[in-house]
Amino acid sequence: MKIIDAHMHFSKIESFQKTAKDRSHIDYTYEGLLQEYRDANVVLGIGMGVTEQQLGGFPDSSAPTPMGLDMLKDEHTRIVYCPGVNPYSLGTAELLALEAELTSQRVVGIKIYLGYYPYYAYDKIYGPVYELAAAYNVPVVFHCGDTYSERGLLKYSHPLTLDEVAVQNRNVTFMMAHFGDPWVLDGAEVVYKNSNMYADLSGLIVGDRQEVKRISNTPHFYDHLRHAITFCDHYEKLLFGTDWPLVQVQPYIEFIKTFIPDQYVEDVFYNNALKVFPKLKSFLE
């Protein structure tokens, strides 16, 4: 079975590099990624653009818009990306630069970092971003749920805050990253209710194979996730993603498969990504 990793990272963020070394124990290079992808039959990764202007600075108010993948090179053919948006840097020049990015075949969506920046998804500052997403037929991906930084503010990243933006922008496809974990039941309701809202299942574990095994075998640790996925009952709206380099690819695939009925596995791990990110089809041809 072919797999698309709908949420990964490839940026020189200090916390990513430290996690890769100390917790997930991976080779955080393109060669390391390629080996993991080959072993797991992952044909493509969708990188979420983010940069930091000083070591350990993310969320960085001085980061440019658009934020790309500062480790990505032209020969890295297994990665496409969603440029990130910094709401502190979102004037006319930045919006024009974001629009220019959207003309690239390699750019398949837009990423907004709720919680890392203190703006709700429905804040008017993001209005022009949604207009660009509609014009270029690309989805907007929201960070949602827990933040990988103590400087994040959780009230801005709660999944219920996405309901309003989904209703106000019915012509835009949205994807809720991490299913809003730990508020996944709220996330499930937002996905269930809104035809234009999807969710990825990335970033639910940080660590290596042993850590995935430990957490998977801890009683009740993921009862909330199993409940939410079952309650949502829309497997055509869930996408597989890893949040690499935060976790090793193959054990995370095995973990997510335990939540998905056999008849929906190919949709969650491949087909749904083609639906949410229509530009992938030409890239995979």
**Domain limits, the chain:** 3-284
Query: pLDDT per residue over 130-163, tens digit each?
Result: 999 999 999 999 999 999 999 999 999 999 999 9
At 282, the pLDDT band (50, 70, 90 cuts) reads confident
Model pLDDT, residue 278: 97
C-alpha to C-alpha distance for 98 and 28, rounded to whole angstroms: 27
Give me the CATH topology for the region 3-284.
TIM Barrel (3.20.20)
Query: pLDDT per residue over 186-239, tens digit each?
Result: 999 999 999 999 999 999 999 999 999 999 999 999 999 999 999 999 999 999
Query: pLDDT per residue over 54-91, tens digit each?
Result: 888 888 899 999 999 999 999 999 999 999 999 999 99
Query: pLDDT per residue over 81-103, tens digit each?
Result: 999 999 999 999 999 999 999 99
3-state DSSP assignment of residue 129: helix
> Taking residues 119-126, what's their average pLDDT?
98
One-letter amino acid of 241: G
Residue percentage of the chain with pLDDT more than 70: 100
At 9, the pLDDT band (50, 70, 90 cuts) reads very high
Model pLDDT, residue 56: 81
- Which among 56, 86, 63, 72 has a CA at the least distance from the CA of 9? 72
Question: What mean pLDDT, rounded, does the chain reach?
Answer: 97
- Which among 31, 111, 117 has a CA at the least distance from the CA of 79? 31
3-state helix, strand, coil in the chain (%, to 5): 40, 15, 45
How many Cα atoms are found within 13 Å in the side-chain-facing hemisphere of 269? 24
Model pLDDT, residue 283: 83
CA distances from residue 54 to 63, 119, 144 in whole angstroms, order as listed = 9, 22, 24
> Taking residues 3-7, what's their average pLDDT?
98
* Global pTM value: 0.97
Model pLDDT, residue 161: 97
